Structure 1
Amino acid sequence: MDRSMREADVVVAGAGHNGLVAAAYLAKAGLDVLVVEAHTTPGGMTCTNPMAPEAPAYRINEASLQASLFRTTTIDKDLGLSRRYGLRQRVIDPAHVQLNYDGSSLALWRDPRRTAEELKHFSPKDAGALLDLYRVIDAAVAVGLPLMQTNPTRPALSAVLKTVGAMVRGRRELAAVGRWAAASHAEALEEYFEHDVIRAALVIGLPFMPFNADLGGWALIYLGVLSKYGVAMFEGGTGAFPAALIQCLTEHGGRVRTGAPVEELVVTDGRVTGVRVKGGEEITARRGVLTAFSPATVLTRLLPRGVLAPKLQNRVDHIPTKGRGISDYKLNVALSGRISMARHEKWRGDGLDLKVPCNSYHDYRQTLAAARDCARGDVPEHIPGLAIVPTAFDPSMAPDGCDMFWFWTGLTPADPRDGWDRARKQITETVIRDSEHYYQGIESLEIARRPLAQPDIAERFFAIDGSVYHVDPIITRFGPRRPAPGFAGYRTPVPGLFLSGSGTHPIAGINGLPGQLAARTMIKHLRREDRDGRAKALFAETKARVGNG
């Protein structure tokens, strides 16, 4: 194999979107970068691939779909993804709609006033309460967002000043922010709202912490992001994002090597100096390795035992990945024709194509009951989640006249008592049965399905316990404790090893912030090494190890 695929200044392990974002920034900074990816297709959970072998004429977004936080970042501008590399994104408005069984619905528009106007049909009182909640959430976003966009252990002074300024400007709302964020998710919703339609809309898509756990109310901060920035989707599927990143990376001299699962981090004299891939081949990293998949995988399975001090090893051994009682499930269904949502679209009468937003269609009590069932190890009678028809946004995803159906839920049991083979089948049948009432044609037009339950997500995306978050999204595992104390600033206690990916600050989802911030941290550290003369020593050590070069 060409030597460029066997050594580099920086080896990035994992070609998910965060790994590729980091790689593009590193290459743009002048470093020689090689990305190694286990799967045959780069992109990780943002892959868009043919649905082969089930229905190869159809293309599916294998995991993620909406870019919920990407517009909060400067990544597109910094890397020129839209300007130079063809990335096209469109804001979806409304991004979400709550569908009721009787044909009525409530759209969550980017403009809160428009949502409140719709909500008046169900509860004038709740319409006013929604605008009150938005004022509180907007203040929280102004305070919290600058800290999301900087290193959690060494925040930039500019970010701190923005946060302080936001606290001064929003001081009248700070007490309400504290009450809302400290409450449980269910407590916060029931304090503000009386009608099921708004309660259900604001709980189904946000199953981060148990709904009755204190400090779970923070999940509602998503509303503020939705309002301020909007939620976008990428033309050509989510895979358009990694494709643009790879163009940027290669233009700056970087490379991607697929089909190369990392099996071990190579440690020389206490420093990570490369990776060993399946088959035993060693890939040398002259300056360091940045990993962009589950930090629990990196620190407990790939890093040799004994490298970390016992106290640090204990911390990473207890990174939570399956402690909430719930887990993620994903379904793609290929259809031989077009789905109809005529009943609900007729009720609205405003011409909105309901196949474009992410829709939820279970009630509030069913959602709370599903979480309780999951905690007991039972498959719920109803499985609330988010559904969309990707072909309504981009018809190229399927043959002419045909649709794709996409569904995600975070409300399946973490440990089903009857085992995953039975649970997967039961979950899939339940989802399709319940969805038929809203998406007419799913049952009769189905030609192929691909369900991904917890073990399938773990196998396909190399994520411990099949967690799309990599680390349980509980409030105590954010900021300086994500993924664990001592490992939150991207640079680890092990020289030459840096972390990125959804399990690092600030959060999972299609946003790229973990990759951007990890790359900036690594660039800053390597420049400090250059100033100290350490870089020359590292090059000399590498040359001695690998021979002439």
Structure 2
Amino acid sequence: MVSTANQIPRSADVVVVGSGHNGLVAAAYLARAGLDVVVVEAHSTPGGMTSTNPMAPEAPEYMINEASIQASLFRTTNIDEELGLSKRFGLRQTVIDPAHFQLAADGSSLGLWRDPRKTAEELRYFSKKDAEALLDLYRVIDAAVEIGLPAMQTNITRPELVKVMKSVKAVVKNRKELSAIGRWMASSQAEAIEESFEHDMIRAPLLTSLPFMPFDADLSGWSLIYLGVLSRYGVAMFHGGTGSLPKALIASLESDGGKVITSAPVEQLLMDGDRVTGVRIAGGREIRARRGVLTACSPKTTLTRLLPSGVLPPKLRNRVDHIPTKKRGITDYKLNIALSGRIKMTKHEKWRGDGIDLRLACNCFHTYEEALEAAKACVRGEVPEQIPGLAQVTTAFDPSMAPPGCDTFWYWSGLTPGVPRLEWPEAKKLITERVIRDAEQYYEGVESLEVARRDLAQPDLEERFWAIDGSVYHVDPTITRFGPRKPAPGFAGYRTPVPGLFLTGSGTHPVAGISGMPGQNAAKTMIKLFKAEDSGGRAHLLKARREQERGIEDIETAGTGDSPYKFTALR
């Protein structure tokens, strides 16, 4: 049972800051290993960017997914199985197939199916050449996923041997595709798309739905790897809303004695000498952490706002000050609309004639050129005339999230200006007006049936989710900020140079989105370290401190003896 701030315990083995799904995944694994774990959450409800809550005060009878909605990378992990989320704690998910449609103004559409052959078959209507090129690209991307996924599922600075060997075997198996993978990964996103495809119906969704790096930046072609995840694992939604995932994780955590405390924003990390030993909650209450503190919020928030000034040496402090959070020129925007009736997509459903409910998928409806122009406008600080993004009718999947006969509309865009020339209130108003104007042409009723709306631009995302600069990624998703440089050199691998302080969340390896991998990897890293401390005693701790002073992130374990803190092995 989630507790409020008036029930804060005085101590725990591990304090986790932030109840987003990565923080909860880590907490559940740590509690399962026998540790006393407390999760503290600033907001009044848990879940972070995977929250599902009433749309209060605007329309409290409607439930909305406040940020994330589709889960793809989560399905690449064994978290569900290991924590018993489906078998024991009620998590239910259904693969949405097609996961996406590209909608055209004339009523035509292209479904992006889990099976690439089905997508290619639809694409042949628009371009036979593109259909064949799509299958060629899928073959290359599928090989890249097989090679790269094992590295995502482990500590990037101290990878598990079994994961390394799995990647090596995949390299050998896919050796004929290596040169093609290299060319694709090195190219810009726009270059990779234009080299393979000629028709807007396939070009547009590969740009609009994946705005991670500037579209013309070298190495931004990697973003198309999402196609491989889509085909291998499928994209799912959780019954009861995205918040069903944190709900199941909390049930798992509590079954092993863990706790979640809401309405408990952390003001500062507590120090004992050079070691982090707890947290101070707003209002002055403190929780002591016997083994460590794990933060699942933005790493820049942790290292520049929560960690006391002067703890990091100047060189390391300079690195964290330069963690990029809005250097791409583009930023994110989120819109939920409560409706008094049902959205229709008559023109597009009639064109297809196959009975598919187009409202289920996350869909794009802007052209390739509109997406390119939107990105350029954002860099200039302008609100684009069109705001390309992803649209979805959540109640098409789960009608229980609104009153009978009513719908909710969800929209996300990564193509709004990072630093607008207008003041944010005016910029947000303009963005929302343009999103609704364009959406009404495809989702009939979005404008005319509106009961209430909640639109979140960059400042709103920062306030709601405690993410610096409103970055849903926590760290700009540029290729140079992956692996051992994520979030900054010296801070990868979930351990920090500050003893007792650990990082997880979207700003740590491997990626943002609903995956849980950062939380799983962080927990395994901590458990391994704590076991080494328990067997290594003072010799280990002294060596760790010496290496920390030299700014080395990968602290070796050594020595023999006893530690005052013991816990059971991972069950």
CA contact 1:5–1:257 (8 Å) conserved in 2:
no
C-alpha offsets along residues 117-172 of structure 1, whole Å, 9 cap, x if unaligned? 00000000000000000010011011100101111001111111111111111111
Give the Cα–Cα distance (whole angstroms) in 2 for the partners of residues 352 and 202 of structure 1: 22
SS where residue 527 of structure 2 aligns? helix
1:297-340, Cα deviation, whole Å (9 max, x unpaired): 00011111211121111111100000000000000000000000
2:383 is the counterpart of 1:382: no
1:360 is paired with a residue whose SS is coil
Aligned length: 540
SS in 2 for 1:440: coil
C-alpha deviation, 1:68, in angstroms: 2.1
2:375 is matched with which residue? 371
Aligned to 2:158: 154
| CA-CA distance at 1:419 after TM superposition | 1.1
Structure-to-structure mapping, 1:326-341, within 5 angstroms: 326-341=330-345
> How far apart in 2 are the matches of 1:81 and 1:537?
33
Counterparts of 1:353-432 in structure 2 under 5 Å? 353-432=357-436
Q: In the alignment, which of 53, 66, 76 is matched to residue 49 of structure 1? A: 53
Of residues 457, 465, 475, the one that matches 2:469 is 465
Contact 1:287 1:538 in 2 (8 A): no
Q: Tell whether 2:307 aligns with 1:303.
A: yes
SS in 1 for 2:452: strand
2:536–2:563 contact (8 Å) kept in structure 1: no
Task: State whether residues 68 and 513 of structure 2, in contact with CA within 8 Å, keep that contact through their aligned partners in structure 1.
Answer: yes
Choose which of 501, 524, 545 in structure 2 pairs with 1:497: 501
Aligned equivalent of 1:99: 103
* Alignment match of 2:209 (pick from 205, 213, 216): 205
In structure 1, distance between residues paired with 2:41 and 2:447: 36
- Aligned equivalents of 1:260 and 1:400: distance in 2? 35
Which region of structure 1 is more displaced relative to structure 2, 395-404 or 310-319? 310-319
Q: CA deviation at 1:4?
A: 6.6
Instruction: Determine whether 1:87 maps to 2:91.
Output: yes
2:334·2:455 contact (CA, 8 Å) conserved in 1?
yes
Query: Do 1:286 and 1:538's aligned partners in 2 also have CA atoms closer than 8 Å?
Result: no
Cα displacement string for residues 433-456 of structure 1 (whole angstroms, at most 9, x for unaligned residues): 000010001111001000000000
State the alpha-carbon separation in 1 of the partners of residues 258 and 305 from structure 2. Answer: 27
One of 435, 441, 446 as aligned partner of 1:437: 441
CA distance in 2 between partners of 1:457 and 1:101 (Å): 31
1:182 aligns with 2:186: yes
Over aligned residues, Cα RMSD in angstroms? 1.2
> What aligned pairs does 1:100-119 form with structure 2 within 5 A after superposition?
100-119=104-123
Mapped contact 1:327–1:412 kept (Cα < 8 A):
yes
Q: State how far apart, in whole Å, the 2-side matches of 1:52 and 1:281 are.
A: 29
Q: Which residue of 2 aligns with 1:215?
A: 219
2:259 is aligned to 255
Q: Deviation of residue 223 (structure 1)?
A: 0.2
The AA in structure 2 aligned to 1:347 is W
| Secondary structure class of the residue paired with 1:409 | strand
1:389–1:405 Cα contact (<8 Å) kept: yes
What per-residue deviation string (whole Å, max 9, x for no partner) do you get for residues 382-407 of structure 1?
Answer: 00000000000000010000000000
Q: Is the Cα contact below 8 Å between 1:70 and 1:511 reproduced in 2?
A: yes
Q: Give structure 1 stretches of 5+ with no counterpart.
A: 541-549
Distance in 2, Cα, partners of 1:286 & 1:478: 31
Q: What is the alpha-carbon distance in structure 1 between the residues aligned to residue 307 and residue 399 of structure 2? A: 44
Using the alignment, how far apart are the partners of 1:369 and 1:5 within structure 2? Answer: 52
3-state secondary structure, aligned to 2:512: coil
| 2:553 matched residue in structure 1 | none
1:266 equivalenced with 2:270 (yes/no)? yes
2:551 match: none
Deviation at 1:538, TM superposition (A): 5.9
Corresponding letter in the other structure for 2:333: Y
One-letter identity of the residue aligned with 1:25? Y
1:102 Cα deviation (Å)? Answer: 0.5
User: What is the TM-score with the length of structure 1 in the denominator?
Assistant: 0.97
Q: Which residue of 2 aligns with 1:547?
A: none
Give 1:506 deviation, angstroms. Answer: 0.4
Q: Quick check: 2:7–2:261 contact (8 Å CA) kept in 1? A: no
Equivalent residue letter for 2:327: G
CA contact (8 A) 1:15 1:292 kept: yes
Is the contact between residue 8 and residue 287 of structure 2 (CA under 8 Å) also seen in structure 1?
Answer: no
1:391–1:3 CA distance, 2 compared to 1 (3 A) = closer
CA contact (8 A) 1:14 1:36 kept: yes
Q: 1:91 to 1:269 in 2, by over 3 A?
A: same
Aligned to 1:291: 295
**Which aligned segments of 4 or more residues in structure 1 are displaced greater than 6 angstroms?**
1-4
CA distance in 2: counterparts of 1:539 and 1:303, whole angstroms: 24
Determine which of 74, 79, 87 is the counterpart of 2:78.
Answer: 74
Letter in structure 1 aligned against 2:180: A
For the 8 Å contact 2:26–2:523, the answer to whether it is kept is yes
Return the offset for 1:6: 2.2
2:534/2:565 contact within 8 Å kept = no
Which amino acid in 2 is paired with 1:528? A
Structure 2 SS opposite 1:396: helix
CA distance in 2, matches of 1:324, 1:4: 40
Instruction: Indicate conservation of the 8 Å contact 2:14/2:294, yes or no.
Output: yes
Aligned residue type for 1:265 = L
Q: Give the Cα–Cα distance (whole angstroms) in 1 for the partners of residues 53 and 509 of structure 2.
A: 28
Q: In structure 2, how many angstroms separate the alpha carbons of the residues matched to 1:488 and 1:517? A: 12
The equivalent of 1:451 in structure 2 is 455
- Structure 2 residue 339 is matched with structure 1 residue 317: no
The 2-side partners of 1:417 and 1:325 are apart by 12
Matched, 1:145 2:154: no
TM-superposed CA distance for 1:533, in Å, is 2.8
Distance across 2 between alignment mates of 1:539 and 1:474: 40
> CA separation in 2, counterparts of 1:306 and 1:465?
23
CA offsets 1:198-232 (integer angstroms, 9 cap, x no match): 00011111000000000000000000000000000
* 8 Å CA contact retained: 2:72, 2:233: no
* Inter-partner Cα distance in structure 2 for 1:390 and 1:246: 23
Q: Secondary structure at the match of 2:134?
A: helix
Structure 1 residue aligned with 2:512, among 504, 508, 511?
Answer: 508
AA of the residue aligned to 2:290: R
Tell me how far 1:351 sits from its aligned partner.
Answer: 0.8
Check if 1:13 corresponds to 2:17: yes
- Tell me the amino acid that sits aligned with residue 228 of structure 1: R
Of 238, 241, 261, which residue of structure 2 is paired with 1:237?
Answer: 241
